[in-house]
Amino acid sequence: MSMKDTDKKKRSAKKSTLTLRLISSLIGILLGTILVFFFQGEYPYEVLLGGLTGAVIIAVFAWIIKKRKKDNTPEADERVKQNIFRFSAYASHISLAVLFMGIFISSLLGVESVSMMYLWIFFVAYIWITGIGTVIARRR
């Protein structure tokens, strides 16, 4: 087996990874909608259409990125991957610390229950901050 053969296999595997992910996502969406139909008796077409729309958008973005890339250099080297990993670790530890401090302060103030809306806001903010920080770390 020559070096050329292994390079072809790596490129082939890389190309099929996104396709496999999209197909798996669509199968998951289809199975989920079928389960909802069995339990609730009404088929959620909006979920299926939303999943199809998302898959098409991701496929178009992947196709554009593939067409724009001219060379075979990797998007991220070991240093960039290490920076992204370090940022993600710091972000998760800081968010847990903020969450525990919020719970501690709420307990000290005598608050017995916290609205789910505040928790959702916290988790969505964490996902956004981590995502934006990862994009910034990848660009540097």
pLDDT digits (tens, 9 = 90+) for 11-33: 555 666 778 888 888 899 999 89
For residue 94, pLDDT beyond 90: yes
Residue scoring higher pLDDT (67 or 10): 67
Q: Are 52 and 26 in contact (CB under 8 A)?
A: yes
- Three-class SS string for 4-72? HHHHHHHHHHHHHHHHHHHHHHHHHHHHHHHHHHHHHCCCCHHHHHHHHHHHHHHHHHHHHHHHHCCCC
- Structure confidence by residue, pLDDT tens digits, 34-87: 999 999 988 889 988 998 998 888 888 888 877 777 776 666 678 888 888 999
Domain boundaries, the chain: 3-68, 78-139
Q: How confident is the model at residue 134 (pLDDT cuts 50, 70, 90)?
A: confident
| pLDDT tens per residue, range 95-110 | 999 999 988 998 999 8
pLDDT at 13: 55
